[in-house]
Structure 1
Amino acid sequence: MRIELTSLFVDDQREALAFYTDVLGFTKRHDVPLGEDAWLTVTSPEAPDGPELLLEPAGHPAVKPYRDALVEDGIPLAQFAVDDVQAEYERLTGLGVVFTQPPTDIGNAWIAVFDDTCGNLIQILAMKPGTDEGN
């Protein structure tokens, strides 16, 4: 069993696509029209055939209270691995990304949390060399 696809609810698919590609650096993989919405996925340029992230419309009535509660509590909806949290923090801050948590040492890793402008908090994480990644 392996992870091929996961999703994030987004307020506006086109704005999300712009943010996730132009700012974060992901690559568009699928953009299939489905009525007013689309099957819209992105992948990491480092693993173009790897797992896809579906930018899913947030129209279901359960989505807003769920995401609002997570944001209010400062809980990220997704986590992305990076090589260097501080460098990525500086790069993204320079592009106007708003962080709700600056780079923070949590022992075996560095983390930071930002607002993806699409209704979600996203955590970036870099494991420290030589640390056990939960195995």
Structure 2
Amino acid sequence: MRITTASIFVDDQQKALDFYTTKLGFQLKTDVPAGPFRWLTVVSPEVPDGVELLLEPSEHPAVRPFKEALVADGIPFNSFAVQDVQAEYERLIGLGVRFVQEPAQMGPVTTAVLDDTCGNLIQIAAMNEPG
């Protein structure tokens, strides 16, 4: 058994697609009409046949309060691995991405948390060099 798809609830699928591709650098994998919405997935260009991130509409009544509670508490919904958090932070700041947590060392990992503009906080993380 393996993970093929992971979901993230987004307020606007097109806005999410734009953010996740033009800002974060993911690639469109699947875009299929699904009733009034789309089955819309993106993948890492580093692993195009890897796990797909489904940009799922926030339509279920339980989703909005769940997302709002996570954001209010500063809890990221997903975490994405990067090679260098500081470099990625600077690249994304240059693209206008808003961070709610600047890069911070937390033991063996460095993290930063950004706002995906679609109702979620996303963590970027990298393991620190042993030393």
**TM-score range for the pair, normalised by the shorter chain length:** over 0.9
Aligned to 2:18: 18
| CA RMSD across the alignment | 1.0
Once the 2 structures are TM-superposed, how far is the Cα of residue 129 of structure 1 from its aligned partner? 3.0
Q: C-alpha separation between the residues in 2 aligned to 1:30 and 1:128?
A: 34
Aligned to 2:32: 32
Once the 2 structures are TM-superposed, how far is the Cα of residue 2 of structure 1 from its aligned partner? 1.5
Alignment of 1:103 onto 2:98: no
Aligned to 2:90: 90
Q: C-alpha separation between the residues in 1 aligned to 2:80 and 2:27?
A: 14
Q: C-alpha separation between the residues in 1 aligned to 2:75 and 2:7?
A: 16
- How many residue pairs match? The answer is 131
User: Any unmatched runs of 5+ in structure 1?
Assistant: none
Q: Secondary structure at the match of 1:8?
A: strand
User: Any unmatched runs of 5+ in structure 2?
Assistant: none
Q: Which amino acid aligns with 2:74?
A: G
TM-score by length of structure 1 reads 0.95
Matches within 5 A, 1:71-86: 71-86=71-86
TM-score by length of structure 2 reads 0.98
Q: C-alpha separation between the residues in 1 aligned to 2:91 and 2:67?
A: 26
Aligned to 1:54: 54
Q: Secondary structure at the match of 1:46?
A: coil
Once the 2 structures are TM-superposed, how far is the Cα of residue 130 of structure 1 from its aligned partner? 4.4
Q: C-alpha separation between the residues in 2 aligned to 1:72 and 1:127?
A: 27
Q: Secondary structure at the match of 1:96?
A: coil
Q: C-alpha separation between the residues in 2 aligned to 1:3 and 1:128?
A: 26
Per-residue CA distance 1:54-78 (angstroms, 9 max, x = gap): 0000010000000000000000000
Give runs of ≥4 in structure 1 deviating > 2 Å. Answer: none
Q: C-alpha separation between the residues in 1 aligned to 2:130 and 2:110?
A: 13
Deviates more, 1:122-131 or 1:77-86: 122-131
Q: Secondary structure at the match of 2:68?
A: helix
